[in-house]
Amino acid sequence: MTPPAGDTHSIPVERLKRSLRSEAAVEPSKVASGPVTKETQIIAIYGKGGIGKSFTLANLSYMMAQQGKKVLLIGCDPKSDTTSLLFGGRACPTIIETSSRKKLAGEQVEIGDVCFKRDGVYAMELGGPEVGRGCGGRGIIHGFETLEKLGFHDWGFDYVLLDFLGDVVCGGFGLPIARDMCQKVIVVGSNDLQSLYVANNVCSAVEYFRKLGGNVGVAGLVINKDDGTGEAQAFADAAGIPVLASIPANEEIRRKSANYEIIGRPDGTWGPLFGLLAENVATAPPMRPQPLSQDALLGLFKGEAVGRGVVLEPATFEDMCGTSFVPKPSLEVVYDTV
């Protein structure tokens, strides 16, 4: 497409469009196989939207840094809320928006444009496309390609924590599992069906890629907003994964989290809890999970909570059209067989 004469602003836009189309046409690499040799522990954390994985990760990464570890936190959720809690509510520029802006200006993305730090924690956000204007999964792939250009595989961190949205089952959000980009996965859930459904899906994805020769395993489950009813613990037992920590349903935690306050401080009330979580995350081995069937997952909950006992009643043509159904003679010719 040729821009109108004198329309110089549309030239870089068209160039960017062609570049993005070329990137979208590239197929993801095949699943890697072989032993993990990286010294850096790369850990992907998955969970249902709103379950508290960003809260868990912000406090976990802060505690790890206070313990003397060099930690990089990468937000891979289009909501871009991971680093907001770490930075006291301050949003940092995302890799995707920064990359687009730099491309239009003919400039290269530098580490200082997208990576920021607080009290020893290094953090960045991949971001996502504008609402209704792109695929979040493709945005994740584009973001990691940019990280690789910035030297991601040469960075010297003890831990890289990836915050992934678990609701969306697509190739982009499954990237760390599919490409062996991490050594292990941690799931965040609660005592509710929807969060455990997502956790079970993540376990299923891990098991699927293990069968294809992948090396990623599930290190365990973090129970957030634990009210003591026990469904999340029962899920972990059934799936064969450990519970790394149980964060209680507590009003102080809820209030401070809503105010973008870090509670995972060594000298704070919740310091021992997050200190133990940091230790468990560091030492828990990647395990091959045992995903539950839908019936087994529903079986963890009481009948009134999941609607068991309901009988499925088939709909009729009359139901669909609101009128009585009058059979019409068929015009089909049926030949007798000899």
Report, as residue numbers or ranges, the catalytic residues: 48, 53, 79, 167
Measured CA to CA, the distance from residue 57 to residue 161 in angstroms comes to 8
DSSP 184-217: EEEEEE-SSHHHHHHHHHHHHHHHHHHHTT---E
Q: Are 280 and 272 in contact (CB under 8 A)?
A: no
H/E stretch holding 139 reads helix 136-149
Residue in this structure with the two tokens 């455990």, named with its chain if needed: 196
Measured CA to CA, the distance from residue 146 to residue 142 in angstroms comes to 6
Specify the amino acid at residue 278.
A
Which residue, among 49, 59, 45, has the nearest Cα to 284 in the 3D structure? 45
Residue in this structure with the two tokens 């009948």, named with its chain if needed: 303
Measured CA to CA, the distance from residue 221 to residue 203 in angstroms comes to 11
Cα–Cα–Cα angle for 281, 199, 301, rounded to 5 degrees: 120
The C-alpha torsion from 277 through 280 and 285 to 286, rounded to 10°, is: -10
What backbone torsions phi and psi does residue 248 show, to the nearest 5 degrees?
Answer: -70, 155
In terms of C-beta density within 10 A (0-12 exposed, 13-18 middle, 19 or more buried), how is residue 126 classed? Answer: buried
